[in-house]
Structures are given as structure tokens and as C-alpha cells.
Structure 1
Amino acid sequence: MNQIKYYTSLVVGTLIISLSFTLLQGPNQIASGGLTGASLIISNILHLPSSMVLWGATVFLLLACSYFLGIQSLMKSIVGSLLIPLFVYLTNGMPILTNDPLLASIFGGLGVGIGLGIVFRAGGNTGGFTLIAQLLFQLKSVKHSTTVLCLDALVMIAGGIVFSPENALYALVGAFITRKTMDVIQGNKKGSKVAYIISSKEYEHEISNKVLHRLDRGITKLTGSGGYTNTERIIMMIVLDPSKVNELKNLVQSIDHQAFIIMSDATEVFGEGFNSAGLSLGKG
């Protein structure tokens, strides 16, 4: 049942993202970041269909990242990565909803935010720039958030050069609305979350390694023992952004389905990896 729910969310979310691009952002040349925005710019330069460029970029990224990272580390990215170019191709030619770039940026950003929120809430992802972020983290230890932010900024700047500065401003509006919509769909609030993961020693390395590399978060490890069994247990404390909560739960449960997870709000967080508002900036 969980697998059915996961793949249903993945299909519905990526379909909404694709429709937002095909019916709103693409026809109005709104490149609000991401691989879809990059494909829109490249297709305009090369005079090729966006779906063709998106297919080529997606397959290239998957092959390149699988070579450097291994196919196992990309398993959760493959389906989401391929669904978006597939749906963009299938929906190509549908009548566009508006020729007003402002409306396209607002409702396109809203649609992308809803789609991404559904996918992330289910614990999935859509590949794209997150694959590049994962690759750079492995090779050069560059933070995931830094890579995605820089790539999205480059896409919007490139859109301003290729299309017009006005289009870049519309893209910025769309990106802002996307982020806010994702927060609402995922139930995110300002601040951070503190997770306590109580697991067996045998799973300690695998859990901590995946939290460090996939979530880009640091871990504080404590030791303890079960009150009834007196069995030694490992306790991992993680401070993370609320948007990563579902991903953390799915990650831990995929390794140790008997792990005990306690989640609580952190009203104030100070130190490396967090800003003055207590929001995560990357690995802590």
C-alpha cells in the first residue's frame, strides 16, 4: 500500500509540474529555474522542442551521475526524473492557458509548487538539478542547497539574457510562489525540527552516512540502552529543515523499520549551518 501511495504521488506531482510548464511557463518563456527552465532556454537557442532537450538533458544527467555515484544511489531519482520529460512530451501541443506572462508566472509557479510539494511529501524527488547537487557533494563536498540555489539563479539570469530582463523578473515571481506553495503543501513552518533516531548499532553507519550525504545534515551521536532489554542502542540527534522531515523518516525506515523516531520543534537554533532565524543553511 505504501508503494502504491508513493508512486501515485510521484505520477500526480510530476504531471502537475509538466502541465504547469507546458501550458503556462514554456509558451510564455518563463524560466523559473530547474532543468525545465534550463531546457526552455537551450531549446530557444538551438531551435529544438523543449521536450527533446529535456529528454536529452535528463538521460545525460542520469548516465553521468550513475557513472560517478553508482546506480544504487539514484534509484529514488530515476522514476521522477523520467516522468517529467515523458509528461512534457505527451502534453505538448495542448492549448495554452494564457498569453499573459504575469498570470503564467503566478499560476505556473503555483502549479510547480503543488507538484513538487506532493512529490516531496511522499518522500520522492524529481531529479534534475538535485542530481548535479548530489554529484558535486560527492566529488567536491559542495552543499546541496548551494548548488541548487546557484544553478536556479544562473537559469533565471540566462533567461533574462536570452528572452528579456522582464521575463527574468516574472521567473523570479514564479520561483517565489513555488517555494511558498511547497511550504504550504508540506506543512512547513518557520524554524527547524529536531529528530532523535533510536536504532540498533548495526544500522548506525548506514543511517548516519545517508543522512550526511543525502540530506546534507550533520549528526550528534549518543549512546543508551533499552530500559527493558538493557540492549545497547545508538541515539542520533539531527537538526533539520521541516521540508526534509518526510525524507528523513522514509530514509531511516528503509534501513531499520523498527527504529524509534522522535520529532520536535526547535524554536531557536544557533551555530554553524543555521542562520539567525534558525533556518538550515546546509550541513550542520
Structure 2
Amino acid sequence: MDELQRIWKRHAYLMRISTAFMYGIIVSIAMNFFWTPGHIYSSGITGLAQLLATLCKGTALPISAALWLFVLNVPLFFLAWKQIGHRFTIFTFLAVIFSSIMIKVIQPLTLTHDPIICAIFGGAVNGFGTGLALKNGISTGGLDIMGLTVKKHTGKSIGTINMAFNAFIVVAAGFMFGWPYAFYSALGLVVNARVMDMVYTRQKKMQVMIVTARPNSVIESIQTRLRRGVTIVHGVEGAYKHDAQTILFTIISQYEQSELERAMHEADQHAFVSIAENVHIMGHFYEPEP
């Protein structure tokens, strides 16, 4: 068993490293193929790096967006190391360093200068990369680190800070390139957020109701595969055959839906399963450590 755990852990680490590398390539495509040619700014620290690179252009010290991206994240690495965890910080560092290198290495390819196309496709490409990274347990740095730190100590999110920061980036785009570009950048932020939500499904909660004649097998399978609590309602009767049934309730993330299907196939293929999406919960809900 210990050997299997070591193999699985090694596989998980390799998966995260390869995902960090893929994220670096994806964000460089968004930056060099769409955002830069279209004068579109991204969200968060990446957008701030673009803004500082624009301000430095033509000065005695023209620092690129790639270098700014790394420099701005350095103090956040120390914060993550102290407040969140060493493993989390290492994978975040890899994601940021791969991003900085790839933005510098992959040569810009101007497909179009149309700001609407650049905003939509740049946002979609980056949203896919960010969602993929988050789905595989990797932070892309920047405001993610601040958000997790604040949540750890206060239990609250920094949604307002995120919105204010991104509003500042949008206004900066207006000052730099003209006010239409502020709206184009805002469009890119919306597309980025929507695509990221489509790819990253861990934060979406789903309520599962299971009607089964084999409750013990189902509970064991769910708790083995998913580490989720289950509420049991005994003494339920089916209206068609009047046979004895049990209702089980649990909450999972959308990311775990495929594991739930495997658990049900393994425990009771004849069970009736109903899933309600986008539920809001209060109380404890287990989240894997970052």
C-alpha cells in the first residue's frame, strides 16, 4: 500500500509540473498572440505586469512584461511559503517561472490587431489555461495567493479587492490606449472569467440524492472514493413496488462527479440518483489542501 501511495504521489507531482508547463505556454499565447497586438490588458498581476511594461517602454530601463510578472510575484512567494504551504509555493513558483520564460521565448505572432477579437480570444485562451491549472491543484500566483491567505485567516474571500484591482487595470487601459480599449479589456476579463469557470469545476457544489436498496455498499464506496459525509433517511418506501428503500444525501463538487458515477456503478447500478447543481452550502465542506 505504501508503495502504491508513493507511485500515486509521484504521478500527481509529475502531473502538476506538466500542467504548470502547459499553463506557461497557454498564457504566453494569450499574451503574445492576442493581448499585446490588440492593446488588451489581462486581470490581476499579469495585467499589472503589462501596465508596468507599457510605462517602461521607451525609458532607460525597458523591463518586459515577462520580467515584471516574475518580479511582482516574488514577495507573494514568501507570503505563500509562510502562510499557505511549501508544496503549494513550489508549484506556484513553477507556474510563474514557466509563464515568464514562455512569454519571453515564444515569439509574438500577430494574427490580428482587431481589439474585439484579441479581447475575446485572449480571454478565452487564458481562461482555459488558468482553469486547467486550478483544476489540477496549481495556483497561477498573484491575487490567488492573497485570496487564499485572507481566506485562511478570516474565512472571507477578497472578491471586492479583485474587482477593484481589475477595475484599475481597465481604467489604465483607457488612459494608455483610449477609452474604447478599456471596454475591450473589460470584455476580455468577462470572457476569461466565464471560460475559467467552465474548466475549473472544483468550486461548483452539487447536491446528490440517492435512492438505494444497498445503502451500506453505497456509503462505503462514496466515502472511500470521495471523502464526503452522507446523511441517511431510513424507512423509505417505493410507490411502484412498495419495496423498502433508503435515501442518501451528500454534497460533492462538480469535479468529483465522475468519481461519484464510478462509486455508484461499483456499489449499486440500480440506484436512482438525482443531482442538483449550483447549490449554496453553510457549514463545513471538506476542501483538499492546496
Q: Shared fold (TM-score greater than 0.5)?
A: yes
| Alpha-carbon distance in 2 for matches of 1:145, 1:117 | 17
Amino acid aligned to 1:98: T
| Residues 42, 136 of structure 1: alpha-carbon distance in 2 compared, 3 angstrom cutoff | farther
**Letter in structure 2 aligned against 1:53:** W
The one-letter code matched in structure 2 to 1:128 is G
1:108 aligns with 2:94: no
Residue aligning to 2:205:
192
1:57 aligns with 2:72: yes
- Alpha-carbon distance in structure 2 between the residues aligned to 1:8 and 1:79: 10
In the TM superposition, what is the alpha-carbon distance from 1:71 to its structure 2 partner?
A: 3.4
Query: How far apart are residue 139 of structure 1 and its match?
Result: 4.9
8 Å Cα contact 1:192/1:265 also seen in 2: no
Return the alpha-carbon distance in structure 2 between the equivalents of residues 79 and 194 of structure 1: 35
Selected match of 1:25 from 35, 38, 41? 35
- Runs of 4+ aligned structure 1 residues displaced above 6 Å come to 221-224
Query: In the alignment, is the contact (CA less than 8 A) between 1:36 and 1:54 conserved in 2?
Result: yes
Secondary structure, in 3 states, of the residue corresponding to 1:59? helix
Q: CA deviation at 1:56?
A: 0.9
AA at the equivalent of 1:192: K
SS in structure 1 at match of 2:144: helix
Q: Which of 186, 190, 198 does residue 176 from structure 1 map onto? A: 190
Q: Could you tell me how far 1:118 is from its partner in structure 2?
A: 2.4
Please give the alpha-carbon distance, in whole angstroms, between the structure 2 residues aligned to 1:110 and 1:140. Answer: 32
- The 8 Å contact of residues 14 and 84 in structure 1, kept in 2 or not, is answered as yes
Note the C-alpha offset of 1:67.
4.2
1:45 paired residue number:
55
**Residue 112 of structure 1: CA displacement?**
0.8
Deviates more, 1:175-184 or 1:53-62: 175-184
The answer to whether the 8 A contact 1:14-1:116 is kept is: no
State how many pairs are aligned: 223
Distance in 1, Cα, partners of 2:138 & 2:161: 19
Q: For residue 117 of structure 1, what is the amino acid of its counterpart? A: G
Partners of 2:88 and 2:139 within 8 A in 1: no
Q: CA deviation at 1:73?
A: 4.8
Greater C-alpha Rg: 2
Q: Distance in 1 between matches of 2:15 and 2:86?
A: 24
Query: In the aligned structure 2, how far is the partner of 1:135 from the partner of 1:129?
Result: 10
SS at structure 2 position matched to 1:26: helix
Q: Structure 2 counterpart of 1:137, which letter?
A: K
* CA pair 135-267 structure 1, distance change in 2 beyond 3 A: closer
Q: How does 1:258-277 map to 2 (within 5 A)?
A: 265-267=275-277, 269=279
Matches within 5 A, 1:1-284: 1-47=11-57, 48-69=63-84, 71-91=86-106, 93-139=107-153, 141-186=155-200, 192-194=205-207, 198=223, 242=254, 245=255, 265-267=275-277, 269=279
Q: CA deviation at 1:136?
A: 2.8
Displacement of 1:17 in angstroms is 1.5
In 1, Cα distance between the equivalents of 2:202 and 2:85? 32
Q: State the Cα distance separating 1:89 from its structure 2 match.
A: 1.8
SS at match of 2:29: helix
Alignment gaps of 5+ in structure 1: 200-206, 208-218, 225-236, 250-262, 274-284
CA RMSD of aligned residues (A): 3.7
Separation in 2, partners of 1:16, 1:178: 13
CA contact (8 A) 1:81 1:128 kept: no
Q: Is the 8 A contact 1:109 1:178 kept in 2?
A: yes
- Say which SS state the counterpart of residue 38 (structure 2) adopts: coil
Length-normalised TM-score, structure 1: 0.63
For the residues of structure 1 that align with 2:114 and 2:280, how far apart are their CA atoms?
44
- CA distances 1:220-273 after superposition (whole Å, capped 9, x unpaired): x7899xxxxxxxxxxxx6576x4xx36xx9xxxxxxxxxxxxx98334746769
Q: Which is further off, 15-24 or 120-129?
A: 120-129
